C-alpha cells in the first residue's frame, strides 16, 4: 500500500504537473510518487489524493487534467473575478521570437484588489538596450530568474476561472498565450477585457488613453512605470474606477457591458490627433 503524510505538497505538485497538460493515472502516479513496486496501489493513491478535489477532473479512461475555467457571463460586474495582467518583454511581438522578462497578476473582485503576484522571468534571449532603458530590466537582473515554465505553477491558478484584463489586452494576451503554449500549459480563460477599450468609450474627451495619462487623470500614483506589478496595480485601480463609471450609467453586469462596448459611437470631429493609447 502506498501512503503519504501531509498531502498538500503532493496536491501542489499535481497542480503544477497538470498545468502543463493532461496525464494518465500511471503517468501522474509515477511523477508524483516515483517508482513503486505496486503500480495499482500508486494509482489508487492518486485517486484518493485528487478525486474529491474540485480543481481536478478525470475522464473515463483515467486521464487527469485541471478543471476547465469557466468565467462568468452575466454576473454583476463587482462580483466578477478579474485578473489584471501586465508583462514586460524583450520586444513587440511573440511572433518575432520576443519573450517575457517580467509578469504580474493582480486579482480583483468585490470592488477590491484581493491578491498580487509578480516575478522576473529569464527570457532565454538578450534584452535589447532600448528595452532596458524603457523598463529598467537588465540582462543581469534576469540571468538567475526562473524561466516562464517555472513560474507557471504560481501563475496558472491566478489565471484560472478569471476574466483576463490588461491595458491593451491583446499585447499581454498574445505573450502569455505564446509562453503558456511553449511551456505546454493550458492557456488562460478566453474571456478578456481591455481597459484601453473601456477608456475610449468612457472618456472620449481625453487626447490620450495611455496608462500614464489615465493614471494622471484619476490621480493614481505609479511608483515604477513599465514594471509589471506597478503597472498591473495601476490598471486594476483603473478597472475599479471604470466599473463605478459603468454603474453610474446603469451598466451593472457583464452582458450589459459587452453590449454597450459593441455599440458604435456616433461620429464626431476630432480635436486632437489620436496618439498610441497603450504607452
Q: What SS3 state is found at 17?
A: helix
Q: Whats the size of the chain, residue-wise?
A: 279
Residues 80 and 97: beta-carbon distance below 8 Å: no
Active site residue 226: yes
Residues 82 and 193: beta-carbon distance below 8 Å: yes
Residues 120 and 142: beta-carbon distance below 8 Å: yes
In terms of phi and psi (left: phi > 0; alpha: psi -120 to 50; beta: otherwise), the region of 97 is left
Whole-angstrom distance, CA of residue 212 vs CA of residue 151: 28
Catalogue the active-site residues: 226
Amino acid at each position: 500500500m502506498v501512503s503519504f503524510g501531509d498531502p498538500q505538497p503532493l496536491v501542489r505538485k499535481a497542480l503544477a504537473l497538470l498545468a502543463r497538460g493532461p496525464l494518465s493515472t500511471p503517468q501522474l502516479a509515477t511523477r508524483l510518487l516515483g517508482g513503486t513496486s505496486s503500480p495499482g496501489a500508486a494509482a489508487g493513491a492518486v485517486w484518493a489524493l485528487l478525486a474529491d478535489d474540485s480543481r481536478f477532473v478525470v475522464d473515463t479512461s483515467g486521464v487527469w487534467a485541471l478543471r476547465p475555467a469557466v468565467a462568468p457571463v452575466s454576473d454583476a460586474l463587482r462580483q466578477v473575478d478579474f485578473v489584471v495582467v501586465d508583462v514586460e518583454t524583450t520586444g513587440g511581438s511573440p511572433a518575432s521570437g520576443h519573450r517575457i522578462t517580467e509578469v504580474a497578476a493582480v486579482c480583483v473582485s468585490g470592488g477590491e484588489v484581493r491578491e498580487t503576484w509578480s516575478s522576473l522571468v529569464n527570457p532565454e534571449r538578450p534584452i535589447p538596450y532600448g528595452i532596458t532603458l524603457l523598463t529598467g530590466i537588465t540582462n543581469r537582473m534576469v540571468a538567475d530568474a526562473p524561466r516562464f515554465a517555472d513560474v507557471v505553477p504560481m501563475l496558472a491558478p491566478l489565471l484560472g476561472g478569471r476574466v483576463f484584463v490588461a491595458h491593451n489586452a491583446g499585447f499581454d494576451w498574445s505573450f502569455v498565450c505564446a509562453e503558456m503554449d511553449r511551456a505546454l500549459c493550458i492557456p488562460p480563460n478566453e474571456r478578456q477585457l481591455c481597459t484601453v477599450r473601456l477608456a475610449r468609450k468612457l472618456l472620449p474627451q481625453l487626447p490620450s488613453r495611455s496608462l500614464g495619462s489615465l493614471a494622471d487623470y484619476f490621480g493614481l500614483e505609479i511608483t515604477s512605470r513599465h514594471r509589471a506589478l506597478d503597472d498591473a496595480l495601476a490598471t486594476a485601480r483603473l478597472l475599479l474606477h471604470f466599473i463605478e463609471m459603468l454603474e453610474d450609467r446603469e451598466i451593472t453586469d457583464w452582458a450589459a457591458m459587452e453590449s454597450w462596448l459593441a455599440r458604435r459611437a456616433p461620429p464626431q470631429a476630432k480635436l486632437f490627433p489620436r496618439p498610441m493609447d497603450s504607452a
